[in-house]
Amino acid sequence: MLKKLFGSPVGKKLVTGITGLGLVGFVLLHMVGNLALFSGDQAYNEYSEFLTGMGPLFYLVEAGLLAFFVFHIVTGIKIAIGKRRARPVGYDRYQSAGAPSRQTAASRSMIVTGMILLVFTVFHLISFKFGPGGPGNDDVAYLVAYDGGEPIRNMALLVRERFASPLYAFGYTAVMLLLILHLRHGVWSALQSLGAMKPSISGLVYTVGGLLGAGTGIGFLFVPMALYFNLI
Ligand code: HEM
């Protein structure tokens, strides 16, 4: 059953689609959570502490997230390799098959934007999650106590420091633009693979996918830009 699922082209598209939609859910929640910084450093730190303080439930969600990432990446790479094998020479000049195929720069570059997002995610985790004050890196300068309570991680301080640098602020901005491209085509493609789409509503789903992708990517830009330009 599992071999059939991962072995067939339709199965691979299904796995990529389901895990992709799960990851969209995470990215959307993550983007909204980041906006807590606009309510102040304490709100942001307490939100981060609330999540990590959930203990086993948090680790379970993290393990699920990791599994989704791995399956999404492995099946995504297999699909890209399959496409190359089917047309090893490549096209002289690529021409879209028109509206119903939804072939855009985003659809053809899914593997490239996906790979850049993978490298970004590793770098991102090292910078923030495993950065100063994080697991195995108990730098006391990145701890803060509120109202006489236990010290918690001062994630807001780390985020502020990182996005004061133009390299971080504009590097993140560039990656978020690629995220918009990846999500825009990804949401449409996932819904199509799941058969949730009749041709008559394909345009609508493409628009909703586009808005969701653009909204998530744009939402992520608020924190780096507001910090870099000293607006909060
Ligand atoms: C401006 C954009 C972003 C900012 C400011 C940001 C900030 C952060 C911070 C501060 C953490 C650490 C949370 C904690 O340990 O309490 C984190 C974790 C994480 N971020 Fe981001 N993030 C951004 C965009 C993204 C994007 C686009 C992705 C995915 C493609 C992503 C994936 C993750 C993952 C997987 C974690 C680890 C979650 C966990 O296991 O706790 N982030 N992010």
Ligand 1 centroid, distance to 108 Cα (angstroms): 26
Q: Which of 146, 128, 120, 118 is nearest to 52 (CA)?
A: 128
| Cα(66)–Cα(70) distance, integer angstroms | 6
Q: For the purposes of burial, counting CB atoms within 10 Å of the CB of 86, is it exposed (0-12), middle (13-18) or buried (19 or more)?
A: exposed
pLDDT tens digits, 80-97: 887 777 655 555 544 444
**Residues facing 143 on adjacent strands:** 153
Q: Take residue 137 and report the two structure tokens written for it.
A: 């890196």
Ligand 1 centroid, distance to 191 Cα (angstroms): 25
pLDDT tens digits, 43-65: 999 999 999 989 899 999 999 99
One-letter amino acid at 212 equals L
Cβ of residue 179 lying under 6 Å from some atom of ligand 1: yes
pLDDT tens digits, 197-219: 677 887 887 788 788 888 999 99
Cβ of residue 142 lying under 6 Å from some atom of ligand 1: no
Show the domains of the chain with their CATH numbers. Answer: 2-88+108-228 (1.20.1300)
Cβ of residue 107 lying under 6 Å from some atom of ligand 1: no
